Structure 1
């Protein structure tokens, strides 16, 4: 073990490098689960709030060094002081360092004892070689709840219960002014909330891809996805204007303990909270002992000194929350979800959607859940949900391409291009997109003028390119270019596409290949030539996941 005076917190950059290196998958974890519970109660007010993280050991001669999550650190520090022989000496045999679990998990420092705010941090540290064993049951628990100013709380919680699915629907419909979330990579609240959102959305549909799209709908509406929970509470406490807090922060997840600590402060802006019953998770506080712990007997005595009375007095529970779902994801899967969530960028986007309306879209397929449907019907369902993903600063238009007769054009405009919030025949453009997808039909025996439609789409969007915005063409097709008067060879198409490129006005093509007959080589070539990317949904049941991947690519850092 390192010498005591080497116990210090690493820099935040190391945390990010560790977490990003550990996460290699971009897919959301979506596993169905069921929970019920009621939360908002008037339990005894806590005495402890978040403590500042220590940057280095202050007691080099300590016999035992303990790292504890900041919110539980005061309770652990109080227990450690019972071992002090000299009350005038600030250092006793046990030093307690208040440190965020993400920092400890990424650190090369090995503390004698570690009390993070989730057992998952111990698993994550283990993937990096940090050797801790969890001793017995967790010391404490605190469920993740959805909190909001009192003026908004009744809107998100009926009968003392909230729902991730209802929250998502409310924010998508513009009924909830703002949703804020803690950083999913560096905070327990953020990491567990992302897991809970995925589980909640998986309960709404047997289609994992659609569940992913619904989770992304919430992510695309977050006002802030990297808030610091302690600073968030401080900001609310210092803001005397309830309306500004509601508009700027709105609804946010936090732990029950943190909410109680805030409520005990009798602040001007009052907060209430309720559990999301469709995705209830517990922040648990394990007592983890390092393999090279230096004093097993003192460690045992410290655990005994952390009493249930002291924990409940600080706002914690000392037994698991009823009906809280287990966090069963493997460490890498959990980090993959968090990394995707954190890596999503809110970008001003201009996008033209090109949707295949050729006859092959009427082929029958087996949809998720086992029902028989058609490619077109599955696209109507997935596309309607995808229309909710676009943020308020998006401009969008949609074409259907196909040639049912030799005299037909290569494509028709289903929704004119313009701001998503703009008006189209008495509806918002978002509503018009949803209506157009609901009415989408493919004509039997219609040809597939794929190449001409892509060329026209890129030409249409190039003049719209502007600084500070991402301009894209997104094409979805289930076949190959052919059976139309616009048919051309791939070589001819690529020559025209390449010749039309303007490095100063780039228009990447994101292509989704749908079904087993799609020409993925053609889609990859057109995407690579324009700086875009292609995604395959060879199994039609994977359509929604492919759309989600394309949406993520459109909002990835460039």
Structure 2
């Protein structure tokens, strides 16, 4: 800890991993019994749970494209399957050249950049939500539902085995236990795996991630989640939902980067994440390539959480433009009985959830226990919005009044003001993300003469940063428990120094704020700082490229709310007064979550 006395500042400070217990790992679904199974060693001629013999993927002899071929765009998860279907389409037409060429595309926002001008093309969208997100500059035709792939929580097979799936189904209670830390990998006998963490694409750009996050959060909630949880005074249900977002340790730009590399060992995998929000098809493709660590997949909602693949013509809709005839014919084929047979033979499910009929070695499917639920643009956008609100990261530097008056009790209560602040910090860390940043300084005077003392107890650090035997968040809590309460209130000098530090530690990936908690006015101090000087300083040093707001909370009737409000307004922040302990919850919300 460094300190400032008076005007002087201190220093700133390839081997297959795991032994799968059974020859067949079948992972039970969240709130359902559908599964995708991983065979450790495939048995020739054995039937799968769906009554289908697993086979090697058929060799696809891709012909050269026809001169007026139609390009079909799709998410990278599905281009392999659609390439096989496109070749079946060629064979069905008896064509020597390929009428359809399949290309990957990240999503609707990038589609106008890749669709050839004045040509007809096909897009296999990931639900009508994708179609609704198409830029208006790109014309499109009617949609046709052609296939589906369940959204799953995938995890390394050894972890599935250690977790006990499917003999121990993942109920609401079990999922909450994992979210709240009552169940851990250490408790399952594998402390080397660290904490359960989740990797997924950004729900703002991926219906798979939006649907998956919505399903996981709803499981923790015990009911469909329609709004962000209560951060101010969360019960166990709300806290479980909050912790689902906390478990999302990595967000990739798109679905293509979600799964681990096929050559990665268990040790490599757990360094980044231990579970993945993806599709059944992506897991099947991953396992069919003989990875070092195969994945087990849990269909969310028993298969009801599913990506409905939708074919739609895009680009020029004029029937005379190049590629128009093939584009129209391919959309019709995908929606036909023959096309759906080809899609299921390529490893996709039917629109009704019917299991694939041709399965790669090492993968077996079972019928989902629930049919795919309807996916609307509103449901996908709603889940993405909830995640965006919950995923905001805040960097909060706390500047806490440690003057003698903070030992005073609230009228009619045994709780002192500093006790209330300690409770506020404890509540904050209960709901704050381990990837948020925090730090704490204290201010009071060192002697009866009023010499200012600014205690720089901790720097701004990410909460989960290791420190000693614990984490940085533990360090902040200990500093608050051990601070000495005495002396006067050099408020203005403390705010000036703390704001300068917070500005210097600015991180553009966070909402940066200085939270000032005080029960009094600037008094009983020899510091020459005045309110006008402080406001002038704040106006001069503010940087629009490094916005740092000040949030002020005044404790008790003696708090100088006029000064605190002026300080907060100078930086675009807010100020509030806490007169009774009952107002603590609203103070938590105000300090950390006000916009």
Matches within 5 A, 1:341-356: 352-355=397-400
What's 1:292 paired with? 317
Aligned residue-pair number: 471
Equivalence for 1:4: none
Q: Does 1:131 align with 2:163?
A: no
Which of 151, 154, 167 is residue 147 of structure 1 equivalent to?
154
Q: SS where residue 261 of structure 2 aligns?
A: helix
Paired with 2:124 and 2:512, the residues of 1 have a C-alpha distance of 49
Per-residue Cα deviation, 1:13-53 (whole angstroms, up to 9, x for no partner): xxxxxxxxxxxxxxxxxxxxxx722443435558769x9xx
Between the aligned partners of 1:195 and 1:47, the Cα distance in structure 2 is 34
- Whether the aligned pair in 2 keeps the contact of 1:200 and 1:278 (CA below 8 Å) is no
Asked if the contact 1:513–1:536 (Cα under 8 Å) also holds between the matched residues in 2, the reply is yes
Matches within 5 A, 1:106-505: 106-107=112-113, 109=115, 111=120, 113-125=122-134, 130-135=139-144, 138-154=145-161, 158=165, 159-161=168-170, 163=175, 166=178, 175-176=194-195, 179-184=198-203, 186-196=205-215, 206-207=229-230, 224-226=250-252, 229-230=255-256, 233=259, 236-239=261-264, 241-275=265-299, 281-289=305-313, 292=317, 294=319, 299-318=331-350, 319=352, 322=370, 330=378, 352-355=397-400, 379-380=424-425, 382-390=427-435, 397-399=439-441, 416-417=458-459, 421=465, 423=467, 428-433=471-476, 450-458=491-499, 474-477=513-516, 482=521, 484-485=523-524, 490-495=531-536
User: Structure 1 residue 259: deviation in Å?
Assistant: 0.9
Q: What displacement does 1:284 show? A: 1.7
- Structure with bigger strand share is 2
Residues 216 and 389, structure 1, Cα contact 8 Å, conserved in 2: no
**Distance in 1 between the 2:302 and 2:136 partners?**
30
Q: Is the contact made by 1:402 and 1:448 (CA closer than 8 Å) also made in structure 2? A: yes
Whole-angstrom distance in 2 between the partners of 1:306 and 1:457: 69
Measured after TM superposition, the shift of residue 185 of structure 1 is 5.0
Paired residue secondary structure (1:288): strand
Moved more, 202-211 or 382-391: 202-211
Secondary structure of the corresponding residue to residue 237 of structure 1: coil
Counterpart Cα distance in 1 of 2:57 and 2:374 = 27
Contact 2:199–2:273 under 8 Å retained in 1: yes
Taking the aligned partners of 1:249 and 1:273, their CA distance within structure 2 comes to 15
State the SS of the aligned residue for 1:153: helix
What is the alpha-carbon distance in structure 1 between the residues aligned to residue 453 and residue 511 of structure 2?
18
The answer to whether structure 1 residue 80 and structure 2 residue 89 are counterparts is yes
Change (3 A) 1:202 1:316: same
Specify whether residues 325 and 490 from structure 1 end up closer, same or farther in structure 2 by C-alpha distance, changes over 3 A only. Answer: farther
CA distance in 1, matches of 2:372, 2:411: 43
SS of equivalent residue, structure 2 residue 284? helix
Task: Give deviations 1:315-365, integer Å, cap 9, x for gaps.
Answer: 3332256287765664766666677899979xxx8x64225787999799x
1:472-504 CA-partner distances (Å, limit 9, x unpaired): 9843357897375469753132245568x699x
CA drift at 1:207: 0.8
Tell me which residue corresponds to 2:31: 36
1:307 Cα deviation (Å)? Answer: 4.4
Q: How does 1:40-119 map to 2 (within 5 A)?
A: 40-42=35-37, 45=54, 58-62=65-69, 66-70=72-76, 71=78, 72-86=81-95, 89-92=96-99, 94=100, 96-102=102-108, 105-107=111-113, 109=115, 111=120, 113-119=122-128
Name the residue aligned to 2:573. 534
Computed over aligned residues only, the root mean square deviation of the Cα atoms, in angstroms, reads 5.8
Conserved 8 A contact 2:499-2:514: no
Cα deviations by residue, 1:506-531 (Å, 9 ceiling, x for unpaired) = 99744235699785553141x3xxxx
Structure 1 window deviating more from structure 2 (449-458 vs 274-283): it is 274-283
**Residues 180 and 417 from structure 1, CA distance in 2 versus in 1: closer, same or farther, beyond 3 angstroms?**
same
With normalisation by structure 1, the TM-score equals 0.61
Q: How much has 1:454 moved relative to structure 2?
A: 1.4
Based on CA coordinates, which of the two structures has the bigger radius of gyration? 2
CA deviation after TM superposition for structure 1 residue 416, in Å: 4.3
Q: Point out where structure 1 has 5 or more consecutive residues left out of the alignment.
A: 1-34, 365-373, 528-532, 554-558
Alpha-carbon contact 1:451-1:493 (below 8 Å) kept: yes
TM-aligned CA distance change 1:327 to 1:314, over 3 Å: same
5+ residue gaps in structure 2? 1-29, 38-48, 320-324, 354-367, 413-418, 556-560, 578-582
The residue aligned with 1:523 is 568
